[in-house]
Chain A
Amino acid sequence: MANNIKILTEHINTPGIETFEVYRKTGGYNAVEKAIKKMSPDEIVEEVKKSGIRGRGGAGFPMGMKWSFLAKPEGVPRYLVCNADESEPGTFKDHYLMKSIPHLLIEGMIVSSYALGANKSFIYVRGELMYVVRILEKAIEEAKAAGFLGKNILGSGYDLELVVQPGGGAYICGEETALLESLEGKRGNPRNKPPFPAVKGLYQSPTVVNNVESIANTPWVINHGGDEYAKIGIGRSTGTKLISASGHIKNPGVYEITLGLPVDEFMNSDQYLGGVRDGHYLKAVVAGGSSVPILPAHLFYKTANGEDRLMSYESLSDGGFPTGTMLGSGGFIAMDETTCIVRNTWNFSRFYHHESCGQCSPCREGTGWMEKVLHRIEHGHGTMSDIDLLVDVSKKIEGNTICPLGDAAAWPVASAIRHFRDEFEWHIKHPNEATKPGAVFMGAEILA
């Protein structure tokens, strides 16, 4: 197994890599040449299938399978839409990739569009990142000038127009069908499914929506072949993954790791996060962005069966909801003992309350309810029955909504109570102590 391989970030620190010239010199756009001159669209889809790469936007759905589901009715255009809305708290990898090496995404968009038979493709960028929109637009201009985009690419007869569309800054527009609504100029409400985008997506036409990182992997797959890609990683977690690490660690930042890296190594070696900041110890980890269940340190390092956890889809979700979590979008948040879990949970809840689109009643009302109860507990006005109430409300949201935002709002609350119930109880029993600034429950002693 090739360890330490960098698929996305190999050249990211090369000076001038954001320009076409430098990017081209490092081997950039070779995949476009190879794909368009030597491969048929179906062959590319086949390679992507073989690579086993799974969607990097959160759900981890196999990318090749998604591509092969795309309906191909006669006379109807097909679209590829890149999801660059990245708004999940804790996740900032796509942002980093796009601003540092924009041509990688453009190259991925070209080969992917070619594979899917799309002649017009979109990159939907989070509204707050206007400067990234400009970087991408500049890259598109450069690629066009060099003949890799636009009409008759490399004389092949294949046309592709790439459009960068900034969003309005709503988290929900990262949900793929809300994104499509927003792209169509409508209110960003998620659609009822089915029909899925692969059948009726953008402008009621078959559409594939993929994350920035997913698409950025495709040039490598074309250059080296799907089989080569599948050799990287572990089991069904093939390839590398960008992890955006934040919180109480020595080296926060974006890391490209080979899937299957032991959690301990990722957390503590100097090559990666370098461990918890000096003089403190790890209390809890949110491993894949704010929506995934929070884990206490002991369950993070080892599964309930005592096996070492690895940074992979399967290992992180080992134990299911009771003792596991998810890789999600790779938004890694480490918390040391100074973190108040109640306050943190309230903070997450506040986010989901604010971002719910308000279409379906469980999410619209439930997110607000949970936030208000958590706010009350955090500010010393909770009652014991509130804890069970929160669990019950989260259960009544989970699985009963139109889109997964409801689940994403329910999981952090349910998991925090599951693993840190005593902290909630302490807040309720000792409101005076708990509301002192910086007060944190640590079992026998209290940090204040």
Chain B
Amino acid sequence: MENEVPLIKVTIDGQEIRVPVGSTIMEAARQIGPSVAPPAMCYYKPLQGSGGKCRACLVKVMAGSEKDPRPMPKLVASCITGAQDGMVVENFTNPEVVEARKGVVEFLLINHPLDCPVCDQAGECHLQDFAFENGVGEKRFVEEKRTFEPEDIGDKVQLHMNRCILCYRCVYTANQLTEKRVHGVMGRGDHAQISTYIKNSLESDFYGNVIDVCPVGALTDKTYRFKSRVWFSKPVDAHCDCDKCSGKVQIWYKGDEVIRVTARKNQWGEVEDFICNTCRFEKKKTSDWVIEGPSKIARNSVIAQNKYGLNQGKKPEYALNYAATNFKKIDDSREYNQNLDQIKKSEDYKALMQKNDKFFSKEKSLK
């Protein structure tokens, strides 16, 4: 055929793939599959111009192309670097890449509050995944973190700047989906912050999408905040007839209640169709929607826990059996227990217990 785009051959972590001319390394790797696809914290295919910022996707180019097989001197950001015919790329198999990526995880976390226990995004957070898969368990940063106060940037969206990793996704979303450009970055360096200039609030039929594109819990849905941990809710694909957007959404149930509506996302966490604010914030009844069926959730996702049939149904039993057969009786003869008698006789202990008694009796009377 005449119009067919010519294909080029790219090798990533030893796996070959043919992709159309003009593809990036990231696109080629994603075609092979998740086992070789570099992590992406800023690149977001639906958003034009995104990428290149977080450096999570750095890879080593071992051979530039068939014509010029020299390696590239520096690691390159795979999301913005074009693939060439005969290019050989190393991702998870290259120690330099692994090391640099550890660095990126560490950098992204040093000013991050690590407040996952109180963050709505926990369980569907790309930073959690990225850190878990590519980081190290220790922290070396002992300095004070930079902090900001949470801020409403629209009647339905709250910004927790502390959690933001400055991926600029929301900025591109606001620029590309909404008419007025009021959402951007103020300041520089690690004191840069997402802002709506002079607390201008976001108002447009589509601004709610900034919540979906945010990889972390920096932009949260005020109609959903603190309603549930994400793994206690159940996502269902649904649609409606909407005159502003495609109406294709995911609705999240807790029991029989629709607690949140989001856009549907693909395997890479990217929104398939941006949805309008009416669908997102206002249609919170089952009767607003035509249900298509349970959303596909990756089995290893925490959201899949306790849901859908066999596999999960068996799990608690398995855990109980495991616990029953594998743990020995607790050995109670350790030193501190022997000292317990002595401790109990001490004045400090008595004073403490008195205080406790008072406190607990107060608690009880309150109830």
| A residues in contact (CB < 8 Å) with B | 170, 172, 187, 192, 194, 353-362, 364-369, 372-373, 376, 389, 393, 396-397, 399-402
Residue of B54, B77, B100, B110 near A369 (CB, 8 A) is B110
Which residues of chain A come closer than 8 Å to B190, judged between CB atoms? 353, 356, 358, 364-365, 367-368
11 sampled A-B residue pairs with Cβ under 8 A? A187-B184, A192-B52, A358-B190, A361-B55, A361-B165, A364-B189, A368-B190, A372-B143, A389-B140, A397-B103, A401-B55
Residues from chain A with a CB closer than 8 A to the CB of B251 are none
Tell me the dominant secondary structure on chain A's binding face. helix
**Chain B residues numbered 348-367 whose CB sits less than 8 Å from any CB in chain A:** none
B328 within 8 A of A: no
* Residue among A194, A354, A356, A396 with max Cβ neighbours from chain B (10 Å): A396
Q: Is the interface of B mostly helix, strand, loop or mixed?
A: loop
Given A361-B55, A400-B103, A401-B55, does the pair A369, B188 have CB atoms closer than 8 Å?
A: no
Asked if A361 and B53 make an inter-chain contact with CB atoms under 8 angstroms apart, the answer reads yes
Given contacts A358-B189, A393-B103, A400-B55, 8 further A-B contacts (CB under 8 A): A353-B190, A358-B187, A358-B190, A361-B54, A361-B55, A364-B192, A367-B190, A369-B110
Contacts of B148 on A, CB cut-off 8 Å?
A: none
Q: B190-226 toward A: CB 8 Å interface, digit per residue (1/0)? A: 1110000000000000000000000000000000000
CA distance in complex: A366, B55 (Å)? 13
A373 vs B166: C-alpha distance when bound (angstroms):
23
What's the nearest-Cβ distance from chain A to residue B148, in Å? 14
Q: Which chain B residue shows the least CB distance to A191?
A: B52
In the complex, the answer to whether A400 meets B140 with C-beta atoms within 8 Å is no
A78 to B230, CA, bound (A): 53
B107 contacts A362, C-beta separation under 8 Å:
yes
A187 to B51, Cβ gap below 8 A?
A: no
Cβ distance A258 to chain B, nearest Cβ, rounded Å: 32
User: Do residues B107 and A365 form an inter-chain contact, with CB atoms below 8 A?
Assistant: yes
Other-chain contact of A396, B54, B74, B100, B187 (Cβ < 8 Å) = B100
In the complex, B89 has a CB within 8 A of chain A: no
Minimal Cβ-Cβ distance residue in B for A188: B188
Residues of chain A contacted by B185 (CB below 8 angstroms):
187, 358
The reply to whether A369 and B141 contact each other, CB–CB distance below 8 Å, is yes
Residue numbers of B with Cβ under 8 A of A are: 51-56, 58, 74-75, 77, 80, 82, 99-100, 102-104, 106-108, 110-111, 140-141, 143-144, 146, 165-166, 168, 184-185, 187-192
B214 shortest CB reach to chain A, Å? 16
Within the complex, the shortest CB–CB distance from B172 to chain A, in Å, comes to 13
Compute how far the CA of A360 lies from the CA of B168 in the bound complex, rounded to whole angstroms: 10
Closest B residue to A354 using CB positions:
B189
- Nearest-neighbour CB distance to chain B for A337, whole angstroms, equals 31
- Bound state CA distance, A358 and B99, in angstroms? 22
Would A368 and B140 count as touching, CB distance under 8 A?
Answer: no
| Given known A-B contacts A355-B188, A357-B188, A365-B190, A402 and B141 have beta carbons under 8 A apart | no
Complex Cα distance, B166 from A237, in Å, reads 41
Question: Could you tell me if B143 and A364 are in contact, using CB atoms closer than 8 angstroms?
Answer: no
**Cα distance A396–B54 when bound, in Å?**
13
User: CA–CA, A194 to B106, complex, Å?
Assistant: 27
- Give the docked Cα–Cα distance between A402 and B80 (Å): 11
Beyond A358-B166, A399-B75, whether A365 also contacts B108 by CB under 8 A is: yes
Interface centre among A357, A359, A402 (most CB of B within 10 A): A359
A365/B184 in contact, CB under 8 A: no
Q: A364-B190, A368-B190 are in contact. Are A400 and B184 (CB under 8 A)?
A: no
- Which A residues are CB-close (under 8 A) to B140? 389
